[in-house]
Structure 1
Amino acid sequence: MESAHANLHSERGPLRGEHPGRSRDPVIKVRDLAWLEFEKANLRRAESFARDFGFAVAARTPDTLYLRGTLPGPQCVVVRHGPRSRFVGPAFQAAAAEDLTRLARATGAQVRELGDLGGGRVVDLRDPSGIQVRVVHGTTPLPALPEQPVLTVNFGSRPGRVNDVQRPAPEPARVRRLGHVVLETRWFEQALDWYLDTLGMIVSDFLFLDDQRDRGPTMAFVRCDKGGEPADHHTLAMHLGPGVGYVHSAYEVADMDAVAAGGEYLASRGHRRVWGIGRHIQGSQIFDYWRDPDRLMMEHFADGDLFDSTLEPGWAPMSASGLAQWGPPATRDFLGTDPSPALLRNVVTALREENEIDLPRLLGLMKAMRA
């Protein structure tokens, strides 16, 4: 059966009996990502890259760095001092204080005061992959900062700029806000259902292995359910793989010029581009990916899709070439296919333990990343 939305944001709709992409009765419905938490051994180096990437520093203590965008709201990123560089987990915003109570009651967790910048209250959980997930409410929002000017563009017969020139400033692209985080997991279906059932998120697009569609999707782009209010195409994306944890996080900037000029600034500072510039298919964002000094991947993006709750999931085959409408080919670094001891360890572990990775699934993923 073809979806009514098949020709709107995906060439294919669901087949009968496939995953509906939402829960019938979720515990709560989160409003957005609040922030991401990391640990770093060198906070000074982390702050230097963050400023080059375009974050503002909201606060700094001897052990914690709080990074923010220009929009009002909570900090985007919390970096705590630790023995090594690692992703700790995401924090999501609850819609109401009562949601924390409801969530704690349903999961057996506790509601406690959040002794951090902005205060508020928090429920700490673990998703089926073992990743820490926080749900927060009542944090004091940070005030707005000056925005990066959006350039006035001439469109053929509709000029907006006369007797003037374009000269984007050679400066960092100012991060406006946190957009999304992408996670890898060996327990894809179980983890996906947890986010839909527990946090009330809904799927915008599914990807599947072209010759294994009957085994279910292998990637989901998941948004917050705000009813009739438009939400980012994805606040969370998850894909099946031999690893577990962080893949990348994405931060909105003003426009395509900010993406491009911000990339030139990062390159001038000696930082490493992973992939870009291009335009995605699922989500439509203009993208540019970079590595921080600890090799964690981060994305500048602009012009992403917004969906309300009426739009059903699209379905598309998973492939490297299907990740972008235009731009350079996806790199092996971005795809995570560079041979390494860590990748080999993950593959061996995944094949030995009980999860959704088996040899046909692994070979199918490898084929898709070469397609």
Structure 2
Amino acid sequence: MDGTKADAHSCLHSEQGAVRGDRPHRAANPVIKVEDLAWLEFEKPDLDAAERFAHDFGFSTAARTPDALYLRGALAGTHCVVIRRGRRSRFVGPAFKAVDVADVHRLARATGGSARELRGPGGGLGVDLVDPSGVPVRVVAGVAELPELALQRPLTVNAGGGVNRANAAQRPPREPARIERLGHVVLESARFNRALDWYQQHLGMIVSDFLYFPGQRDRGPTMAFIRCDRGATPADHHTLAMSLGPGRQYIHSAYQVADLDALAAGGEYLREHRYRHSWGIGRHIEGSQIFDYWRDPDGFLVEHFTDGDLFDNTVEPGWAQLSASGLAQWGPAVTRDFLEVNPAMAKHVLSALTAGDNEFTARRLLGLMKVARS
């Protein structure tokens, strides 16, 4: 017996389960359990340009000050992106939503931090931390929620032999795909295992799927799709995904839209306005969501998605080999732009290999090169 949990994965998200000796997919006694991402924070020099793209991508402006832009989706909730005026464009970090203010205080005590009142729209209480990769992480609670806006309704579809629409044609408008909510963020770390341990232990997050470099299963995972532990309430397959790499930190963020037609028509709108398409449309394997990737004017990768997996806390983690061709069930071949195969990548790799105090070794680099070629 090799310890493989085959039954737990029959007809589920992965054909492989864990084997004896694999790293745990959850912490035994986490400090708290966050329930979602609250928002992502960026800095950009030109807030006007950032707001124009945001509206074309499908966000609404929740608030605007001379030095900050707060963007929201149409579902009720807090703002989901904060862009502050800065000298250069950069990703600052994520903010996670705690269940209540007591959890914020508990996390602050456990980490030696201080809970503080938040200034700006929505107020609330937060504690500021830094993960082992050096990414600032804020955990918040008590932030006032915004009311629901008009939603982009999914189309009524004739499918499976059923007649749901008669004497009516489909004419989805070519307009921005209305963002409903923030779904997930993907980060890269040269200290992958230390960072993953930190999110599991401090924020109570659990792994839905592990991926490993070709031929390196014995060396452990190099990517993890991580969800919030809401008990019996299903949560997104991943709210955070992390991958081992030379340490560029932000990879992409993803925002839910109504359905495939909203995503596709919204993509045509972006194309007409000469924004840069990166990859799509397709359907992912881990998470199952239909995706379409775009670059904002500053080069940040952002995703429209719909129809993602939802897991409660009983689903065991899957294990699979990471490959470029295995990123989608269907759709066009993954692009060099999405993989960020460019001269800047070589600079990051050299820096990571010479730094020493990380997990990105020469053997891991060989594994990453195999992924890009697979």
Normalising to structure 1: TM-score of the pair?
Answer: 0.98
- Given residue 83 of structure 1, which amino acid in structure 2 is its aligned partner? R
1:357 aligned residue: 360
Contact 2:292 2:303 in 1 (8 A): yes
Question: Which string of whole-angstrom CA distances, capped at 9 and with x for unpartnered residues, describes residues 155-198 of structure 1?
Answer: 14211000000000111000000000000000000000100000
Contact 1:129 1:244 in 2 (8 A): no
Contact 2:4 2:20 in 1 (8 A): no
Contact 1:5 1:314 in 2 (8 A): no
Q: 2 CA distance for matches of 1:27 and 1:283?
A: 26
- Given residue 114 of structure 1, which amino acid in structure 2 is its aligned partner? L
2:22 aligned residue: 18
Question: Which string of whole-angstrom CA distances, capped at 9 and with x for unpartnered residues, describes residues 270-302 of structure 1?
Answer: 001100000000000000000000000000000
- Given residue 346 of structure 1, which amino acid in structure 2 is its aligned partner? H
* 1:118 maps onto 2:94 in alignment: no
**Other structure's SS at 1:5 match:** helix
Contact 1:40 1:86 in 2 (8 A): yes
2:349 aligned residue: 347
Pick the aligned partner of 2:306 from 292, 299, 302: 302
Q: 1 CA distance for matches of 2:4 and 2:366?
A: 29
2:288 aligned residue: 284
Q: 2 CA distance for matches of 1:258 and 1:111?
A: 40
- Of all paired residues, the percent bearing the same amino acid is 64
Contact 1:27 1:199 in 2 (8 A): yes
**Other structure's SS at 2:148 match:** coil
Pick the aligned partner of 1:174 from 166, 174, 178: 178
**Other structure's SS at 1:181 match:** strand
Q: Give, in angstroms, the shift of residue 5 of structure 1.
A: 2.2
Q: Give, in angstroms, the shift of residue 349 of structure 1.
A: 1.0
**Other structure's SS at 1:333 match:** helix
* 1:369 maps onto 2:334 in alignment: no
Q: 2 CA distance for matches of 1:299 and 1:57?
A: 18
Question: Which string of whole-angstrom CA distances, capped at 9 and with x for unpartnered residues, describes residues 98-117 of structure 1?
Answer: 10111011100000000021
State the Cα RMSD in Å.
Answer: 0.7
- Given residue 93 of structure 1, which amino acid in structure 2 is its aligned partner? K
Question: Which string of whole-angstrom CA distances, capped at 9 and with x for unpartnered residues, describes residues 112-167 of structure 1?
Answer: 00002100010000000000000000000011100002100001421100000000
Q: 2 CA distance for matches of 1:326 and 1:238?
A: 23
Pick the aligned partner of 1:264 from 246, 261, 268: 268
- Given residue 365 of structure 2, which amino acid in structure 1 is its aligned partner? L
Pick the aligned partner of 2:252 from 223, 248, 253: 248
Normalising to structure 2: TM-score of the pair?
Answer: 0.98
Q: 2 CA distance for matches of 1:369 and 1:205?
A: 20
- Given residue 307 of structure 2, which amino acid in structure 1 is its aligned partner? D
1:207 aligned residue: 211
Q: 2 CA distance for matches of 1:156 and 1:232?
A: 26
Matches within 5 A, 1:47-58: 47-58=51-62
Q: Give, in angstroms, the shift of residue 96 of structure 1.
A: 1.5
Q: 1 CA distance for matches of 2:219 and 2:193?
A: 10
Pick the aligned partner of 1:136 from 128, 140, 143: 140
Pick the aligned partner of 2:228 from 224, 239, 253: 224
Q: 2 CA distance for matches of 1:97 and 1:310?
A: 27
Contact 1:57 1:66 in 2 (8 A): yes
Contact 1:243 1:343 in 2 (8 A): no
Q: Give, in angstroms, the shift of residue 366 of structure 1.
A: 1.0
Query: Mind listing any 5+ residue stretches in structure 2 that lack a counterpart?
Result: none
Pick the aligned partner of 2:239 from 232, 235, 240: 235
**Other structure's SS at 1:196 match:** helix
**Other structure's SS at 1:9 match:** coil
The worse-fitting range, judged by mean Cα deviation, of 154-163 and 187-196 is 154-163
Q: 1 CA distance for matches of 2:273 and 2:66?
A: 25
Q: 2 CA distance for matches of 1:284 and 1:168?
A: 24
Q: 2 CA distance for matches of 1:281 and 1:156?
A: 23
**Other structure's SS at 1:262 match:** helix
2:324 aligned residue: 320
**Other structure's SS at 2:218 match:** helix
Q: Which runs of 4+ in 1 moved over 4 A?
A: none
Q: 1 CA distance for matches of 2:41 and 2:65?
A: 15
Tell me the number of residue pairs that the alignment of Structure 1 and Structure 2 aligns: 369
Q: Give, in angstroms, the shift of residue 240 of structure 1.
A: 0.3
Q: 2 CA distance for matches of 1:5 and 1:80?
A: 45
- Given residue 368 of structure 1, which amino acid in structure 2 is its aligned partner? V
